[in-house]
Amino acid sequence: MTDRLAGSSYPSDAGLLAELREQWPPTAEADAAIGRGYVAPDLAASEPAAVVRLGDRFAVALVAGPDGSFRVVPLARDAVLVTTWRQAVPGDGLSAFVAGVPMASERAIEADQTNTSVVVGERAIVKWFGRSGPAPSRATGLTAHLDAVGFREMPQPLGALTWASPTGVELTLAQGDAFLPEARDGWEWAVERLERHVNHGQTLCAADCDPWIGARLGSLVVRLHAALLTPSSVIPEPAAIAAPAVAAAWRDAGQATLNEALRLTAEQDPEAGAALAAIEDAVRADLDRLPLDRPVAIAPVHGDLHVGQVLEWSGGLAVIDFDGNPALGAAANALRQPPERDLAQMVSSLDHVGQIVDQRSAGHARQIIDAWIARTRRDFLATLDPDPALLAAFEAEQECRELVYAARFLPRWRYAPVATLRARYG
Ligand code: ADP
Ligand code: MG
Give residue 270's region: left, alpha or beta (phi > 0; psi -120 to 50): alpha
Reported as half-sphere exposure (CB side, CA atoms, 13 A), residue 49 has a value of 15
pLDDT score at 34: 45
Burial string for 225-244 (b: 16+ CB within 10 Å, else e) reads bebbebebebbeebeeebee
**Mean pLDDT computed over 182-189:** 96
- In order of 27, 196, 292, 378, the CA distances from 248 in angstroms are 48, 44, 6, 29
- Annotated domain spans of the chain: 9-178, 184-425
**Mean pLDDT computed over 319-343:** 94
Please tell me if the CB atom of residue 185 comes closer than 6 angstroms to any atom of ligand 1: yes
In 3D space, the residue among 136, 177, 123, 119 whose CA is nearest the CA of residue 153 turns out to be 177
**Pseudo-torsion of CA 170, 65, 125, 335, nearest 10°?**
60
In 3D space, the residue among 170, 155, 165, 336 whose CA is nearest the CA of residue 237 turns out to be 336
Residue predicted with more confidence, 209 or 50? 50
Please tell me if the CB atom of residue 177 comes closer than 6 angstroms to any atom of ligand 1: yes
pLDDT at 29 over 80: no
* pLDDT grade for 30, boundaries at 50, 70 and 90: low
Digit-coded pLDDT (tens) for 212-231? 999 999 999 999 999 999 99
* Centroid of ligand 2 to alpha carbon of 305 (angstroms): 9
- Tell me the C-alpha distance between 272 and 269, whole Å: 6
In 3D space, the residue among 410, 403, 86, 116 whose CA is nearest the CA of residue 260 turns out to be 403
* Centroid of ligand 2 to alpha carbon of 323 (angstroms): 8
pLDDT score at 323: 93
Please tell me if the CB atom of residue 111 comes closer than 6 angstroms to any atom of ligand 1: yes
Residue predicted with more confidence, 83 or 349? 349
Residue predicted with more confidence, 276 or 363? 276
Please tell me if the CB atom of residue 307 comes closer than 6 angstroms to any atom of ligand 1: no
* Centroid of ligand 1 to alpha carbon of 223 (angstroms): 21
pLDDT score at 281: 98
Q: Nearest 5°: phi and psi at 38?
A: -70, -35
Q: Going by DSSP bridges, is the β-strand pair 86-87/58-64 parallel, antiparallel, or unpaired?
A: unpaired
pLDDT score at 4: 61
Please tell me if the CB atom of residue 115 comes closer than 6 angstroms to any atom of ligand 1: yes
pLDDT score at 198: 93
pLDDT at 37 over 90: no
- Tell me the C-alpha distance between 71 and 88, whole Å: 14
* Centroid of ligand 2 to alpha carbon of 114 (angstroms): 7
**Mean pLDDT computed over 278-298:** 96
- Tell me the C-alpha distance between 179 and 420, whole Å: 34
* pLDDT grade for 2, boundaries at 50, 70 and 90: very low
- Tell me the C-alpha distance between 109 and 115, whole Å: 11
184-425 is classed in which CATH architecture?
A: Alpha-Beta Complex (3.90)
Share of the chain above pLDDT 70, in %: 93
Residue with the smallest CA separation from ligand 1 atom 22 is 179
pLDDT at 3 over 60: no
Query: CA angle 301-302-305, nearest 5°?
Result: 125
Give, for 113, the enclosing helix (H) or strand (E).
none
Contacts of 343 (CB under 8 A, 6+ apart): 221, 305, 380, 381, 384, 386, 391, 394
Please tell me if the CB atom of residue 129 comes closer than 6 angstroms to any atom of ligand 1: no
Neighbours of 291 (CB within 10 A): 14
Query: CA angle 96-97-103, nearest 5°?
Result: 60
- Reported residue count of the chain is 426
Digit-coded pLDDT (tens) for 126-142? 999 999 999 889 999 99
The per-residue pLDDT of the chain, averaged, comes to 92
* Centroid of ligand 1 to alpha carbon of 277 (angstroms): 37
Closest ligand 1 atom to 180 CA: 24
Share of the chain above pLDDT 90, in %: 79
Give, for 127, the enclosing helix (H) or strand (E).
strand 124-128
